[in-house]
Amino acid sequence: MNPWDRLADLFYRVATGDRRHKLLFTPLGLLFFFGLIALFIFASFWVDEWLDFPSFGSSWWSSTLSILLMVIGSALIVPTVIAFGRLKGTPVPFNPPPKLNTTGLYAYVRNPMLTGIFFMLFGLGVLFSSLSLIFIFTPLFILLMVLELKFVEEKEMEKKFGEEYLEYKRRVPMFIPKLKRVENERN
């Protein structure tokens, strides 16, 4: 069994196991995830300084763009967190809702919360005038999340929900909604 499969199996065992393990692993998962985000943000400041990247400074356009990106990110994050709460779960893979959510934003993308976090990171990069956050660390974070989703969480979800998840995965994209589908639903 490769390390990805072992990690997927750990996620599955905790998510389907007893409440005590969920209570232990959920805050650890949150701490790790937000710690990774904070590490990437602070590392970008150091890299910007170390490589003497130019700063595009704060202007009306950069402030407007950063606010727009962070509002879009928040508009994706907040409803998904609320949806997790309504379904009696958390966004942390160790303590997910007991049933697969395919409604709301989840009808258009499988990971709207992460998409929102990506927007937030790009917005912070513009706000802080950090070229390395925009062009190095946010893309690196996206790559890490795609790998983790593909090789760990999706395997765990397939194990937990079976054919229901496989069908959902075939129908709904990971991060970027299919615009054609939205048009078809309106007709």
Evaluate whether residue 156 is within a structural domain: yes
Gap between the Cα atoms of 153 and 156, Å rounded: 5
CATH number of the domain that 26 lies in?
Answer: 1.20.120.1630
> pLDDT tens digits, residue range 68-123?
999 999 999 999 999 999 999 889 988 889 999 999 999 999 999 999 999 999 99
Q: What is the identity of the amino acid at 180?
A: K
**Overall number of domains in the chain:** 1
- Whether this prediction's pTM lies above 0.95 is answered by no
Judge whether residue 180 has pLDDT over 70: no
What are the two backbone dihedrals, phi and then psi, of residue 18, each rounded to the nearest 5 degrees? -80, 160
> pLDDT tens digits, residue range 110-169?
999 999 999 999 999 999 999 999 999 999 999 999 999 999 999 999 999 999 999 999
Which residue segment(s) compose the domain that 49 sits in?
3-176
What per-residue confidence (pLDDT) applies to 6? 92
129, two tokens? 């005038």
